[in-house]
Amino acid sequence: MKVPSADPPITRALSKEEAARAPMRKMTVIAQDPGVRRDNKIVMSTIDVPAEDLRNGPMGYRVQVVDFDATRRVFHGSHHLPASVVKEPKSWRDGEPRIQRDFRFHAQNTYALVMKTLARFEFALGRRVPWSFRTHQLKVAPHGMADANAFYSPEVEGLVFGYFDGASGEKVFTCLSHDIVVHETTHALLDALRERFMDPSTADQAAFHEGFADVVALLSVFAQSEVVEHLLVGKRRQRAKELFITRRELEPQALEKSALFGLAEQMGAELEGVRGQPLRQSATLTANPKLKDTDEFKEPHRRGELFVAAVMQGFINAWSHYALGAGLRGQKRFPVRRVAQDGADIADLLATMWIRAVDYMPPVHLEFGDALSAALTADFEVRPDDRRYELRKHMRDSFEAFGFRPASDRPDGTGLWRQPPPGLKYDRVRFESLKTEKDEVFRFIWDNREPELLNLRDGAYTEVLSVQPVTRVGVDGFVVRETVAQYYQVARLTPDEMRDVGIQAPREYLRSLGETAKAFAKGAVADGDEGEDTPAPPADVDAIEAKTTPLYGGGVLIFDEYGRVKYFVENDVFGRKQNARLAYLWKEGLLEPGEKSARLHATRLSTLHRLRALRPVTSRAQRW
């Protein structure tokens, strides 16, 4: 049997004209982390990143590497990167262990992986993705602090990677781990796409930021066939004739062990504390629908691991199934390179599916079932024919095994979002403006505000957050044009008002609110007695506002290329999920009266990434 050949080796630089026109360029990065070795050389990978003329730093149009160490107050200088892959030092391409101390290489590794992740998101979503803050360039500090940690911070508008002394005495740099760089970049991108997902809301939403960042990071590692091949070959001798694996080695449990667990084993043990154990858990957690209801798995990080395990086990099942099915009847040995390539292709498709899913997720109060329906729908729109890998079926099955079902109860069992309600009115909106203008989208929502249509609630403030025209390309060149619009509703209610709209908040919370409300009511009565010309003390209004937790709702509208709504995904600002959210926040101690949600925002960030020094800032929530 002929083993399919790899890409031809890169032998010459592109000519100036070729380079100027090429949309992408190649850069060498560490395939996973410096601990993953073959013949004592670090396994490297050549990845495609958007081409641009970099200034020293490197500084590009979306990313600015600032090699400043805030702990030691040292600036390591602006790095000048090689102009093309053939000009890179041989030590980089060969994966010489000494590149672990080459800060210029560190700068390239970090820059390239951040840009690759951004490009992956922009390709999947079919549009530019701005950062969550105003500036165009994300600041990235590859050696930003002496700490076994890395984090994304909207306040510093960037990513900070730490370094520390490893057990072996060598310095460990988090910026050299593929999954850590992609993980932090994914936090930044998800925050830009769904600004309310960092808020405390439900156990699932708290877990989602972490789980999603892990999933994109792990699938990004597996999308490199170099890594997959290395894992499959394992310890066996690497003479070309022996590069086959057996049928038994392709069974799901065996693949899980060699690929998922194998990678976890090879990663530097020092980094375990930084990245948690999502990879190890994704291989070792036995699927069980009851886990999600245990106290242990209500803690955000553990719950995030359930999400990771569901996606990664679905990945392994799809891959195993396809690889075995692609062989001839009775075939006993399969070429490793082809199996690795299949695995990398499936990982890539799944990463795209999950990134696209974000556009189809409700803007607030996400649960895993919503995320799953969003992924299934996003994938179906661009890749209606799923017979090749059956990715949607494998995702549904693996989530079900962990007790998570699609939020959509469509009768056909596909788990896709339902069609929009019939009777939507389009007569007064202008289609061209609907593709780009918030006011036009708001008009559409306003015109359709009835409960049986878009269900815009009286008594809540409504704001259209974003309107994005997108062009998505499927694997077969199939093009889908859509407009994605997000809006949200916010309300602050007194206990009586909550009761009126049917929200059941925890009793102790209501009591604490009730006292404020009583004081407020007293003030208002006294005010009335004294006549109209005495102004009410404004402090009371502030006091009651400060003591109520805002309720959020909102929706996503997906318009097709003719301006008709294809999907409408909503979370009612006075709906059932509010009860669960308030109960969760109360239980977690996040609903203390008198605390504003900006405080909640900071609490969440710091628990996730130990951002101790962060000053709480006013979030959007405070401006309405």
Which residue ranges make up the site for Zn ion (CB under 5 A)?
A: 213
Beta bridge partners of 567: 558
Q: Give the angle 381-383-389 at the CA atoms, nearest 5°.
A: 140
Q: Tell me if residue 556 falls in helix, strand or coil.
A: strand
> Considering beta carbons, is residue 213 or 291 the nearer one to Zn ion?
213
Q: Where are the beta strands (DSSP E) in 340-430?
A: none
Identify which of 33, 2, 565, 83 has the alpha carbon closest to the alpha carbon of residue 335. Answer: 2
**Dihedral (Cα; 176, 178, 179, 181), 10-degree rounding:** 70
Min. distance of Cβ 208 from Zn ion in angstroms?
11
> Considering beta carbons, is residue 159 or 591 the nearer one to Zn ion?
159
Instruction: Encode burial over 522-551: b for 16+ CB neighbours within 10 A, e otherwise.
Output: ebeeeeeeeeeeeeeeeebeebbeebbbbb
Q: Which two tokens stand for residue 568?
A: 């409408």
> Considering beta carbons, is residue 32 or 455 the nearer one to Zn ion?
32
Residue 558 C-alpha from the chain's centroid: 20
Identify which of 82, 101, 102, 97 has the alpha carbon closest to the alpha carbon of residue 28. Answer: 82
Q: Are the beta carbons of 552 and 364 closer than 8 angstroms?
A: yes
Q: Are the beta carbons of 549 and 597 closer than 8 angstroms?
A: yes
Min. distance of Cβ 187 from Zn ion in angstroms?
5
Q: Tell me if residue 477 falls in helix, strand or coil.
A: coil
The gap between the terminal CA atoms of the chain, to the nearest Å, is 67
Min. distance of Cβ 322 from Zn ion in angstroms?
31
Instruction: Say how far apart CA 95 and CA 113 lie, in whole Å.
Output: 17
Instruction: Say how far apart CA 274 and CA 609 lie, in whole Å.
Output: 9
> Considering beta carbons, is residue 207 or 429 the nearer one to Zn ion?
207
Instruction: Say how far apart CA 239 and CA 62 lie, in whole Å.
Output: 43
Instruction: Say how far apart CA 38 and CA 40 lie, in whole Å.
Output: 5
Min. distance of Cβ 210 from Zn ion in angstroms?
5
Residue 18's contacts (CB-CB under 8 Å, 6 or more residues apart) are none
> Considering beta carbons, is residue 213 or 480 the nearer one to Zn ion?
213
> Considering beta carbons, is residue 208 or 509 the nearer one to Zn ion?
208
> Considering beta carbons, is residue 213 or 600 the nearer one to Zn ion?
213
Min. distance of Cβ 319 from Zn ion in angstroms?
26
Min. distance of Cβ 214 from Zn ion in angstroms?
8
Min. distance of Cβ 355 from Zn ion in angstroms?
16
Phi, psi at 32, each rounded to 5° = -130, -80
> Considering beta carbons, is residue 213 or 453 the nearer one to Zn ion?
213
Min. distance of Cβ 613 from Zn ion in angstroms?
17
Backbone torsion region of residue 546, taken as left when φ is above 0, otherwise alpha when ψ lies between -120 and 50, otherwise beta: alpha
Min. distance of Cβ 511 from Zn ion in angstroms?
36
Q: Which two tokens stand for residue 193?
A: 């796409």
> Considering beta carbons, is residue 244 or 297 the nearer one to Zn ion?
297
Min. distance of Cβ 220 from Zn ion in angstroms?
14
> Considering beta carbons, is residue 213 or 361 the nearer one to Zn ion?
213
